[in-house]
Structure 1
């Protein structure tokens, strides 16, 4: 009779996954520091990156080293923030954000992932018009009318642009420059988001033909596995979305 993965094997897989997450977070902190100042009090983007790292249980020493790199030490000055646009299976629009010290390697990896899974790399601006950059805070309300009302009232009081309640979640939307204030206001109201950040949100989502679902999932998994890729946005309406 076959045996499942050993405890050691599962632990090694979990450690590898955690290391990959840390790699992405370290790059995000490095670039955020380089784009502003090394003091999170005066750099909202850096503060958000550090908060994300702390929630992933990254040590303060590791965070401090990443900030130091972003200040120009230890090769941090070579890091760049780049965006790629393209299409996946069934013409799904993709925006791929990356932090890299080697753009040639990164674009080659992204192009290979796209072409191998039935997509292609586009030119700058080829799909960006289908997305809007905004602050997004998602709360699990599970269809609870009282919970949805609490999020709605707190968000509107804080000046949100919109609140969308669907699929068991309430999503608060705001201008990117208002994101941090919105997040603090909702925390003060006793609300805890399951996801929060400044994102590229699709203006419309499109249904994916059944035969394209597996290739699309494989493509998204492959892009996420690339160390240089920090975020992938798409306009697909996946089964888990609704």
Structure 2
């Protein structure tokens, strides 16, 4: 059950992702809208994906009335927005596998912008299925160092968690299936274990270490460009940038 994980490497190392609150809220509103439409309800308690989207919005300090309007709009109670979820796949510099989740009302615009972000930084957009098989959809809850590991592990596994991972720095991750995420999180909070962060995300089965400074720079620029697009919700990769390269990048 215990081990060292580098899954969050690139996500936690990038300090510049989504700095602007307005852009974060725009993405979250779209996520809520799509989830409400998919679940055909404006009630977060009635549909797991909507409940998760609302929880993320509350975590980003979005006003409750804004959240409620997005829920109702998605459910068609205020006039629905015609957003569609599309996932793009491709390869970044150094052959790094990249998944790009989008929510869009204009497919032609979105694919053109995503393709430009790839090609501008030495990557290329692939076909459906080209890299998706390398990733798994997981629920992840992170807990600070110092938490009672044995008690947390017992509570998590009893609640239905798939795995519990202990990092080298003492932090702990609880892994679930997407379907069990909400139930496990609720059970852990009820047991006195509130995660520092929690999300349903995509993780690669195997990571590719990057030791070349130029490749790392291009990859980070590409990911920044993708994440800055209004239609892009999330960007995932199988990159594991070495500590020496990250140190060199930080010194520039």
Matches within 5 A, 1:163-202: 163-168=164-169, 169-202=171-204
Q: Distance in 1 between matches of 2:80 and 2:229?
A: 19
* Counterpart among 231, 238, 241 of residue 241 in structure 2: 238
Q: Which residue of structure 1 lines up, in the alignment, with residue 14 of structure 2?
A: none
Please say if 1:32 is aligned against 2:65.
no
Mapped contact 1:208–1:236 kept (Cα < 8 A): yes
Larger relative helix fraction: 1
Superposed displacement of residue 218, structure 1: 1.0
TM-score, normalised by the number of residues in structure 1: 0.86
The structure whose RCO (Cα within 8 Å, separation 6+) is larger is 2
Please say if 1:225 is aligned against 2:228.
yes
Q: Distance in 2 between matches of 1:74 and 1:222?
A: 33
Structure 2, unaligned runs of 5 or more: 1-17, 247-252
Q: Which residue of structure 2 lines up, in the alignment, with residue 106 of structure 1?
A: 110
Please say if 1:130 is aligned against 2:131.
no
Superposed displacement of residue 119, structure 1: 0.6
Report the 3-state secondary structure (helix = DSSP H, G, I; strand = E; otherwise coil) of the residue aligned with 1:57.
Answer: coil
Mapped contact 2:211–2:242 kept (Cα < 8 A): no
Please say if 1:153 is aligned against 2:154.
yes
Report the 3-state secondary structure (helix = DSSP H, G, I; strand = E; otherwise coil) of the residue aligned with 2:222.
Answer: helix
Structure 1, unaligned runs of 5 or more: 1-14
Q: Which runs of 4+ in 1 moved over 6 A?
A: none
Q: Which residue of structure 2 lines up, in the alignment, with residue 97 of structure 1?
A: 101
Report the 3-state secondary structure (helix = DSSP H, G, I; strand = E; otherwise coil) of the residue aligned with 2:20.
Answer: helix
Mapped contact 1:93–1:235 kept (Cα < 8 A): yes
TM-score, normalised by the number of residues in structure 2: 0.83
Distance 1:116 1:73, change over 3 A: farther
Report the 3-state secondary structure (helix = DSSP H, G, I; strand = E; otherwise coil) of the residue aligned with 1:124.
Answer: coil
How many aligned residue pairs are there? 224
